[in-house]
């Protein structure tokens, strides 16, 4: 919190750039926060953010905030969709300038569910699944990764679910498996489970394929999502660790507050993130 004012001075212009105002044109302005040219990671949106919106509503918000990468959830493209239905959904996003870079989180409790997830991802045209297979299915998932040449980013659940509560648990289960078996690090669930996301980024960087970024108000199971910069996560330290390790994936904002009216909170969070990027 002590650094929040400094970053918000820069973040304010990012809020405007993110779509809160169409009256001011910031192109070329020296005060507009930008990521360092050496940053290899890019911003995205986690699909769960749009649980209360249809595809058109999701596209509209993403256009307002200027984000073009999406991790697609199955409520916008059901798991039992046909190839034609999947192609139609992906085309709607593509035609709107949005890149569906992965699908998930997909839960897999049977071999049939694993088979379905891989075919679903293949038809969607992605080569990475954000998922949560049952522990006993990990060897079977490993064979599918080799067959499809996909990557799996296992999502940590924090204290809410005994399945993969944190990155350490994921690492301990996959460290001796195929290197395409990795982690989707949710920094909110990480801190709610008593771990430091900046430390985990450096400790497990070799297997971190995707990130869900957010802020929360408590380092406990009771912690809930707040606008980025208003909570307890040390976002500057997270960004420092991403840069130090050369992370080159997506950092997808998962905003779970005010889910029926999230635009302002999404824009504030993106503005804060960009403000930190600009002044670190």
Q: Is the pLDDT of residue 5 over 70?
A: no
Give the whole-angstrom CA distance, residue 165 versus residue 267.
29
Q: For position 37, what pLDDT does the model report?
A: 64
Number of H helices, E strands in the chain: 10, 10
Domain annotation covers residue 218: yes
pTM value is 0.88
Domain annotation covers residue 106: yes
pLDDT, tens only, 176-216: 999 999 999 999 999 999 999 999 999 999 999 999 999 99
Please give the average per-residue pLDDT across 58-87, as a whole number.
98
For all residues of the chain together, what is the average pLDDT?
Answer: 91
pLDDT, tens only, 155-174: 999 999 999 999 999 999 99
Which CATH number belongs to the domain containing residue 247 in this structure?
3.20.20.150
Domain annotation covers residue 95: yes
Percent of the chain past pLDDT 70, that is, above it, reads 87
Domain tally for the chain? 1
Domain annotation covers residue 279: no
For tokens 């040449």, the residue is 149
Give the whole-angstrom CA distance, residue 180 versus residue 182.
6
Domain annotation covers residue 33: no
pLDDT band at 280 (very low <50, low <70, confident <90, very high): confident
Give the whole-angstrom CA distance, residue 19 versus residue 66.
7
Q: For position 36, what pLDDT does the model report?
A: 61
Q: CA distances (Å), 177 to each of 162, 207, 215, 245, in order?
A: 21, 11, 31, 21
Strand partners, 185: 211
**Backbone torsion region of residue 125, taken as left when φ is above 0, otherwise alpha when ψ lies between -120 and 50, otherwise beta:** left
Domain annotation covers residue 197: yes
Phi, psi of 72 (to 5 degrees): -85, 130
Domain annotation covers residue 19: no
Q: For position 90, what pLDDT does the model report?
A: 98
Domain extent, residue 54, equals: 40-263
Please give the average per-residue pLDDT across 210-236, as a whole number.
98
Q: For position 4, what pLDDT does the model report?
A: 52
Q: Is the pLDDT of residue 136 over 50?
A: yes
Contacts 24+ apart (CB under 8 A), 214-219: 214/186, 214/187, 214/188, 214/253, 214/254, 214/255, 214/256, 214/269, 215/188, 215/269, 216/188, 216/191, 216/192, 218/192, 219/191, 219/192, 219/194
pLDDT band at 73 (very low <50, low <70, confident <90, very high): very high
Q: Is the pLDDT of residue 20 over 70?
A: no
Contact predicate 164/156, CB 8 Å: yes
pLDDT band at 35 (very low <50, low <70, confident <90, very high): low
Domain annotation covers residue 7: no
Residue 153 CB coordination number (10 Å): 26
Give 150's DSSP letter.
Answer: -
């Amino acid at each position: 919190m002590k650094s929040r004012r400094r970053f918000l001075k820069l973040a304010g212009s990012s809020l405007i750039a993110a779509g809160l105002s169409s009256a001011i044109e910031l192109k070329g302005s020296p005060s507009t926060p930008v990521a360092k040219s050496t940053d290899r990671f890019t911003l995205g949106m986690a699909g769960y953010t749009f649980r209360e919106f249809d595809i058109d509503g999701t596209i509209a918000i993403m256009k307002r905030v200027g984000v073009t990468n999406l991790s697609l959830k199955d409520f916008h493209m059901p798991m039992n969709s046909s190839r034609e239905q999947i192609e139609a959904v992906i085309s709607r996003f593509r035609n709107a300038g949005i890149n569906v870079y992965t699908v998930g989180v997909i839960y897999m409790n049977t071999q049939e569910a694993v088979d379905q997830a891989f075919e679903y991802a293949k038809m969607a045209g992605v080569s990475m699944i954000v998922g949560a297979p049952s522990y006993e299915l990990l060897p079977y998932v490993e064979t599918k990764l080799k067959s499809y040449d996909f990557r799996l980013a296992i999502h940590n659940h924090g204290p809410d679910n005994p399945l993969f509560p944190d990155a350490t648990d994921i690492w301990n289960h996959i460290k001796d498996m195929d290197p395409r078996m990795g982690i989707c690090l949710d920094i909110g669930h990480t801190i709610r489970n008593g771990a430091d996301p900046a430390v985990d980024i450096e400790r497990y960087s070799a297997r971190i394929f995707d990130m869900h970024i957010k802020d929360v108000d408590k380092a406990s199971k009771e912690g809930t999502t707040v606008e980025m910069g208003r909570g307890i996560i040390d976002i500057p330290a997270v960004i420092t660790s991403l840069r130090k390790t050369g992370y080159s994936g997506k950092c997808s904002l998962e905003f779970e507050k005010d889910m029926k009216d999230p635009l302002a909170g999404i824009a504030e969070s993106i503005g804060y993130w960009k403000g930190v990027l600009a002044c670190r």
